[in-house]
Structure 1
Amino acid sequence: MRMTNKIMQNNSLYNINNNKVLQDKLSTQMSTLKKITRPSDDPVIAIRALRLRSDVSQIKQYYEKNAPDAKSWLEVTADALNTTTDVINDILQQCTKGSNKDLGVDQLDIIVTQLKSLKEEFYATGNVDYAGRYVFTGYRTDTTLTYTENKTEKFKITEQLNVSAADTINYTNIGKLKGASSTSYDPSDPPLEEAVDIKNNDIYRIRLSYDNLTGGTDAAGDAVIPAITKYDAVSDTYIDVFAAPIEQVSSTSVPSPYDYITDPANSGKVVFVPETGEILMGKDAYDDFVSVGNNTEIRVTYEKDSWKEGDLRPQHYFACEYTDTTGAKINYNNDYLTEEGASQVIKYDVGYNQTIRINTTADEVFTLDVDRNIDDLESALAALKQINEAKTNIGKMLTGYAEGTTEYNNLKATADAADKAYTYIRENIQKTFEGLITKMNGTLDNTSVAITDNGTRGSRLDLISNRLMTQKTTFQTLQSSNEDVDIAEVTIQLTSMNNSYQSALLATSKIMQNSLMNYI
């Protein structure tokens, strides 16, 4: 092939240009610190870069955001549970004091007042939030656990129970001793009550989770009473537990619902007391109730529309239906009725196909029993105050008459009856305090379990975070190895390429000095 000057010139320019292109590539790598600037530079590196960047982005999300957020939630929960433990221990201390049978009414009143304050603190702890999200309210993180003000909201609540929900309360009928004083009783009349007439009974009941329930009558004039049903496998429906209709008896009725249900003639009756949230059962009715069996679910559906500050919101605990002022209805937790063990568990994604539970639900710690148990104690103390006042008044009247007179004898018989009633009621208060100690120890055990579970989740999260940190470092190293240039190597290559470029320019200049004109 004949090699002309033009061919040599073109080849030299081509080679110089290629050299310059390589020099530009190395210069770009030096300035960007990346191996490629466009996918076409190296498709293999580009594909790997996309995959590794996605992996690093996900790990950063898990490690830098999700895991710390979950950790903070667990820490807030742990602090609240520790506070709850302290409050429960304070309640137990007060209950231990109250179980002293030598305490008088005034001392007991102080203890019960302190218990009420501790109960309010117990439930107030359940309103703790993390970044504006309430930690114990399941999915409804925008709603407080308790009502923060008095409110009117119409709820139809369904509690799912079994026969173990039935318990007994001790009741002493003080009869005419109630309100006894010098203005209401003339000692010349027969004794108000005699010791033999003072009756003490245990009453079977189902204590619902709330008091001050909706009572009275509905628009049709029918009494508003709870529906108490059990599952019937034959018909595959829920049927009434009691054959007899449930009667509504107000706590202010005469006779009182407790006097009414203890009447032997009413052994088969079932009484609903809306003010106290109790369903009282006579002996025969109770036998019908327990015959249902422990393994059968019993549903009690009732209504409540008046809520006090500090009341627990039912949508955090039960399947319920809310009706607003326009008549529109909202159903909460219907899955509770069909799925056993359904709960509102919140889980965070903290790794590839890896989640961790972060929340503790209210029903695990802040049970409604604490409130209702202290309600029982308040009721028992109110009965003790009532009989103590009557006992004191009768005692004062007794000092005004000579022994042996008709008035004295009548007052003495009345005083003996009051002493007997006082003994019954005082003994019941002591047993109530002792029972509350046992129940609060159970609440303390539940809280300890919740603390342990929360701590276990925190420990697991620490392990996951450590692994995420290692994975983050590994993937970032792979990403850097795939995308980033070696500065030292590129510097050497660029210097070498620059030298080659300068040499090529020099050689070309010398070659191009000669042409045909030099030989003419």
Structure 2
Amino acid sequence: MRVTQSMLSANSLRHIQNSYKNLGKLEEQLTTGKKVSRPSDDPVVAMKGMRYRSQVVEVEQFNRNLSEVYNWMDNGDAALDEVNSVMQRIRELTNQAANDTYETKQRQAIASEVKQLRVHLESLANTKVNNKYIFNGSDTSAKPVDLSKVDKEIDLSAITADNAKDYALFAQDGKQLLWNDISGGFVDSNGTKVEIPVSGDYVAKEIGAVSVNQRDVDMEVTKGVNLNVNITPQNVFSLEFFSDLGDLVKTLESPETKGEDVSEFLGKLDGHVDQIISERAELGARYNRVEMVESRLLSQEIIAKSTMSENEDIDAEKTIIELTSQETLHRASLAVGAKMIQPSLIDFLR
């Protein structure tokens, strides 16, 4: 085959162009720190990289979810801790007032403090985090307790089908009934219909007196695992809870009250305190689980980022050596090309 000057020149320029391409690729890798900048560089690495990156993003999102979980639980636990402290103070005052040596004015003074503590408990029940009420189940936009509605007496006979949706019915055992338009009557948590008028075992209150929302606030803490971050409001801030405190205030204010009348409330207060402690303990158990999930997510994040780095990131030392070698080859290619292309037939005709 006849090899011409143009063929040598073309081959030389092609090799120099490939050398520039390799230099450009190595320079881009050192600049970005990545093996590939586009899928065409290495489709397999690019495909694996998308999967690894999705895994990292997923773990990072779960970590952000955990921050919100901690926010809810920490605020919930802090509020319950203060509720417990307030209840201990109310019990202490009640125990003092149960002494028959106390006069009416002294008991009325205690009643004033208990009344203020009851209002403070209302504010604790209406605790907001990020502009959301944390003690009203999934209905985070409405406050769970309104003492003005709690203290308002409602006659059961005044409830009709026309206004029933504005009321909730409460039993002493904690059972609550809400109006259901579909069934045309009050239903319990199981959806069982209870016709009105109901028996005298129920107490009617306007909607909004205390929380009637029993749905949990769940947050996804890891793939397929949701965790309840709130407490059940009916277990702590129930109608019975605020009604008992209201009755205690009335008893202390009455001039006919005797010590034994006040001492009857000690058992009721102890029952509410036990319920608060129990709910706090259950919240603490879930908190411990969140900490274990956080530890697991931390390990997963480290592994996921390490795997993604091994797949995508360059070995800087190795790439620098390759770049140095390519620069040497490129210089040699330029030198050879210059020597080869320079001589021509014209040079020998002079």
- Alignment size in residue pairs: 327
Give the corresponding residue for 2:44.
44
> Does the residue aligned with 2:167 lie in a helix, a strand or coil?
strand
Say what the alpha-carbon RMSD is for the aligned residues.
Answer: 3.4
Establish whether residue 33 from structure 1 lines up as the match of residue 33 from structure 2: yes
Give the corresponding residue for 2:69.
70
Give the corresponding residue for 1:81.
80
CA distance in 1, matches of 2:103, 2:217: 49
Give, in angstroms, the shift of residue 3 of structure 1.
3.0
Q: What aligned pairs does 1:238-277 form with structure 2 within 5 A after superposition? A: 238=194
CA distance in 2, matches of 1:89, 1:508: 94
- Name the aligned partner's letter for residue 71 of structure 1: Y
CA distance in 1, matches of 2:252, 2:332: 108
Give the corresponding residue for 2:10.
10
CA distance in 1, matches of 2:149, 2:171: 28
CA distance in 2, matches of 1:464, 1:239: 47
Closer/same/farther in 2, CA of residues 316 and 48 from structure 1, 3 Å limit: same
Give the corresponding residue for 1:55.
55
More strand by share: 1
What is the aligned counterpart of 2:169 among 135, 148, 159?
159
Give the corresponding residue for 1:371.
242
Give, in angstroms, the shift of residue 229 of structure 1.
11
**What is the TM-score of this pair, normalised by structure 1?**
0.56
Give, in angstroms, the shift of residue 380 of structure 1.
4.4
CA distance in 1, matches of 2:114, 2:210: 26
CA distance in 2, matches of 1:24, 1:477: 27
CA distance in 2, matches of 1:78, 1:48: 43
Give the corresponding residue for 1:481.
310
Give, in angstroms, the shift of residue 447 of structure 1.
0.7
Give the corresponding residue for 2:294.
465
Give, in angstroms, the shift of residue 71 of structure 1.
0.7
Give the corresponding residue for 1:423.
none
Give the corresponding residue for 2:208.
313
CA distance in 1, matches of 2:187, 2:342: 112
CA distance in 2, matches of 1:33, 1:128: 48
Q: What aligned pairs does 1:229-378 form with structure 2 within 5 A after superposition? A: 238=194, 279=200, 300=202, 302=204, 304=206, 313-314=208-209, 316-317=211-212, 343-378=214-249
8 A contact 2:210–2:239 mirrored in 1? no
Give, in angstroms, the shift of residue 508 of structure 1.
2.4
Establish whether residue 450 from structure 1 lines up as the match of residue 307 from structure 2: no
CA distance in 2, matches of 1:446, 1:23: 72
- Name the aligned partner's letter for residue 90 of structure 1: R
Q: What aligned pairs does 1:95-114 form with structure 2 within 5 A after superposition? A: 95-114=94-113
Give, in angstroms, the shift of residue 146 of structure 1.
2.9
The runs of 5 or more residues in structure 1 that have no matched partner are: 166-207, 210-226, 231-235, 247-278, 280-297, 305-311, 318-332, 334-342, 389-425
8 A contact 1:136–1:361 mirrored in 2? yes
8 A contact 2:186–2:193 mirrored in 1? no
1:194-221 per-position Cα deviation (integer Å, ceiling 9, x unaligned): xxxxxxxxxxxxxx99xxxxxxxxxxxx
- Of all paired residues, the percent bearing the same amino acid is 23
**What is the TM-score of this pair, normalised by structure 2?**
0.81
CA distance in 2, matches of 1:24, 1:15: 14
- Name the aligned partner's letter for residue 508 of structure 1: G
The runs of 5 or more residues in structure 2 that have no matched partner are: 153-162, 178-184
- Name the aligned partner's letter for residue 115 of structure 1: V
8 A contact 1:229–1:241 mirrored in 2? no
Closer/same/farther in 2, CA of residues 371 and 302 from structure 1, 3 Å limit: closer
CA distance in 1, matches of 2:47, 2:134: 43
8 A contact 1:78–1:451 mirrored in 2? yes
More helix by share: 2
CA distance in 2, matches of 1:454, 1:229: 29
Give, in angstroms, the shift of residue 479 of structure 1.
1.7
